[in-house]
Structures are given as C-alpha cells and as structure tokens.
Amino acid sequence: MNTGFTNAKSNIDSRTGWKDVKVAMLVRSFSSLGGLELYAYKLIQELLSLGLHITVICEECQTDLKHQNLKVVQISPSHKNANKVAKIEHYIKEFSAAIQKHGPFDIVHSQHLGAHNVDVVTFHNHTVTRLNECGTSFESILNKLKLLLRPDYIMRDEIDAMLVKEAQVLIFPSRICKQDFVERFQFHKKQNMAALTVAYPGWQLASGTHTAENNSAQYLGNGSVAKEKTIIFVGRGYKKKGLDVLLSACLLLKQQKYNFKLLIAGLKEKPLDKWQLSTFGLTENVKYLGFVNDMEKVYQSGSIIALPSRIEPFGMAALQAMSYGLVPVVSKVSGVAEILQNDIDAQIIENHLDSKELAKHLATLLDDTDKLKRMSEAAKDKAQSVSWQSTVEATLNAYQQVFQKQYVI
C-alpha cells in the first residue's frame, strides 16, 4: 500500500464502504477508444459511481469525462522522437514522481505501466515470450532472438518482472494470460507471491448503447454480397491477430466458389496488401477500412467476426460484435474463448495457424443459414450476460486483498 489508509477497513463489502477510498489510476492515455483504454475508462466510471476518489495519472487525456471525485493529472510527454527504451524509462520516472507528488493514495493501480510503489497491476498484454509458444517455428526463433538482442524487448520483460515483484495483487483479463505470467515468472518458486486474479472485461462502449439505424450499406458497397455472407476482422496486428491465416482461409473459400466479403477494420491497405489481394484473386472480396471511429456501422455490416489470433489476452472486439449478433470464430488461445462454447455461441479454432481449419469453420456458417441464425441469437445472449460489473467486482476484491494484507495479521 502506497500510504497509510487511515480507515483501515479489512472487510469492505458494501457500496458505502468504498466511499472516500483514494485511488491513483495509471494509464498512458485516458480515453474510451481502444482496448486497454476502454477497459480503464469503464472501470474508472464504475468506481466513481461507487464513491471512490480517482486520480487518473496519464500522458494523454482524450476524454471530457467529468465527476466531482475525478482528478486528472498529466505527466510531461515523452519526446516524440524518443526510442521505445527511452519512452519506457521516461514513463517510470514521471509516473513514479507523480504518485509521490499527488498522493497520498490508498491504492495505486497501474494499467500495465511501469512505475514504483504500485499496489495493483492489471496486465493487458502477454509476456514477451508468448509468441514462442503460439507462433510458427520461425516466429518462435525470431522472438527468442529479439529477447536476446533488442533493448526494447529486454526492457519490456524487465518492467513486467518489476511489476510482478513489487505489486501486491496482479489482475489479468483472462486465465490464459494469467497462466502465461505464471510460467514466465515462476510464481510458485517465490516466497512473497502476489495475489493473482482474473477480471474479464465487459464489451459495452463508452456510450453503452446501440442505435436502431442500419448503416451497413456504407461498407457493403453495391450490395452484391449480402450481410449474411460478410465476415468482419478487427485489429491492428497483421500476424499477431492472425490476418495472414484469415487471408489464406479466404483464398481457400474463393477456390471453393464461396461468395463472401471480408471487411478489415483497423488496418490500411498498403501496396503490398493490394498486390497480395490481386495475386490471390481476392480484390473484390476483401476491403481494408483503415481506422474506424464508428465500429457500430462495421458490425451492422456482417454476420461473422473472425479473430484467429496468435496472441490475444482477451479480445473485446469479439464480445462487441456478438452484441450485434455476429457469430465469433476465435482461436482457442484467445482469452475470450474461455467464456464461449463451441458450436453454441462460437466456433473455436483448435489450431490457430491452420488456415484449412479456419476455412472449414467459416464455410460451415456460410453454408448453413439456420445454424448461423441460431448461433447469432446465442452469441447475442452471451454478450448481454457479460458486463463491466464483474470487472469492477474483481477489481474491488483485489483492493480489499491489499487492505487485508496490510492490516490483518
């Protein structure tokens, strides 16, 4: 615990019990856009509603969220031309100084940012060694070399090790992410093992609502491919998100005479991508959308979301799409797969590197309209059962563990 918690509550189990608890929330960008950012944003919103006092310490503030218990502190930004190592070192120095300057706090909670004197850390990314297990043989070798030779990889690993050692409670967005850290840092061999917990994210965006208007025509173009034949991909990582495997699966579907469209949100089409689509004969089937502010329109355009990720601590895009009735086709190694049921509300890929298996899952949904509709309803129901409330409850439980460890002998 960062400072003396004067109330010394060892069993905080009611709404009133959390009032006046002071939390420093460390996040690089305070925003509702993105995965990590949305997670922190929704968590902060919920904690404020329970009466906690939140001081957000960030480098960038891209929200106009207002609350009487909310204070936003911005550190000096890193130099725009600084390399990754210099930026990490800058963050450690600036965030650690801000904790001391603007405290005292009852809880210091880092959203996977390196800093000293933190009590709770939520890890949003896998360890740097994760690709060794989930990538191809070549990717595994290359990743091992990076960890030996690249200063930024070495620094990232050192920061994770520092946070694991110094924090009292560690939070993960999924069991598979938690297990990755357990294996990397050998918790069972440590005398002072931090408490480990899983806090699955919700899916609701900052607004928390869907509009009734259907804007799918914007992305379906001339309408030659129906919504039921449209697949959505969301992500900025080409191989880590499995887009290479998905495009190979699309080539197989094309060869099998399937009529479909793939919409790629989050990536711009580069000359090499254009050449690849032309070579595969997929120019008419695949469309790169670039960065999209309004994902609602994208989700309204399709019936399937494909996320064959190699590395995916959770995968909120799948849940967001499911809330619109899209059926998820996700890799077994993704965190979101832990709360899904194969052939009920999702198609789960056993081998995320196998384009033939992925193509088979997609073909099943493209072929069987009744199954697609049935799974669509099940996917929507599953999404509605997942909310940020469970994230908040797990986080408050982590805070309570910090208090108990400090004051209960």
Q: Which of 86, 42, 34 is nearest to 65 (CA)?
A: 42
The SS3 of residue 261 is strand
For residues 346 and 399, state if they share a domain.
no
For residues 129 and 191, state if they share a domain.
yes
Domain membership of residue 403 (yes or no) is yes
For residues 148 and 231, state if they share a domain.
no
Q: Which of 163, 156, 206, 198 is nearest to 179 (CA)?
A: 198
Q: How far apart are CA 119 and CA 167, in angstroms?
A: 5
Q: How far apart are CA 388 and CA 391, in angstroms?
A: 5
Instruction: Provide the strand spans (E) within 173-242.
Output: 195-198, 230-234
Per-residue pLDDT of the chain (409 residues; tens, 9 = 90+): 554 333 334 445 444 578 889 999 999 999 998 889 999 999 999 999 999 999 999 999 999 899 999 999 999 998 888 999 999 999 999 999 999 999 999 999 999 999 999 999 999 999 999 999 999 999 999 999 999 999 999 999 999 999 999 999 999 999 999 999 999 998 765 544 568 999 999 988 776 555 545 555 566 555 556 788 999 999 988 899 999 999 999 999 999 999 999 999 999 999 999 999 999 999 999 999 999 988 899 999 999 999 999 999 999 999 999 999 999 999 999 999 999 999 999 999 999 999 999 999 999 999 999 999 999 999 999 999 999 999 999 999 999 999 987 643 3
Domain membership of residue 4 (yes or no) is no
Structure-token pair, residue 262: 């793939």
Here the CATH number for the domain that contains residue 120 is: 3.40.50.2000
Domain membership of residue 208 (yes or no) is no
Per-position DSSP letters for 337-392, written without gaps between them? GGG--BTTTBEEES-TT-HHHHHHHHHHHHH-HHHHHHHHHHHHHHHHT--HHHHH
For residues 361 and 277, state if they share a domain.
yes
CB atoms under 10 Å from CB of 307, counted, come to: 26
For residues 157 and 72, state if they share a domain.
yes
Domain membership of residue 243 (yes or no) is yes
For residues 319 and 181, state if they share a domain.
no
Domain membership of residue 78 (yes or no) is yes
pTM, two decimal places: 0.90
pLDDT of residue 4: 36
pLDDT of residue 304: 98
Q: How far apart are CA 202 and CA 394, in angstroms?
A: 12
The SS3 of residue 88 is helix
For residues 400 and 358, state if they share a domain.
no
pLDDT of residue 386: 92
Q: Which residue range is the domain that position 351 belongs to? A: 217-384
3-state DSSP of 295-321: HHHHHHCCCEEEECCCCCCCCHHHHHH
Domain membership of residue 207 (yes or no) is no
For residues 380 and 244, state if they share a domain.
yes
For residues 157 and 284, state if they share a domain.
no
For residues 241 and 345, state if they share a domain.
yes
The count of structural domains within the chain is 2
pLDDT of residue 211: 53
For residues 67 and 96, state if they share a domain.
yes
Domain membership of residue 284 (yes or no) is yes
For residues 133 and 97, state if they share a domain.
yes
Domain membership of residue 9 (yes or no) is no
Burial class of residue 130 (count of CB atoms within 10 Å of its CB; 0-12, 13-18, 19+): buried
User: HSE on the CB side for 56, CA within 13 Å?
Assistant: 28
- Return the amino acid letter for 188: H
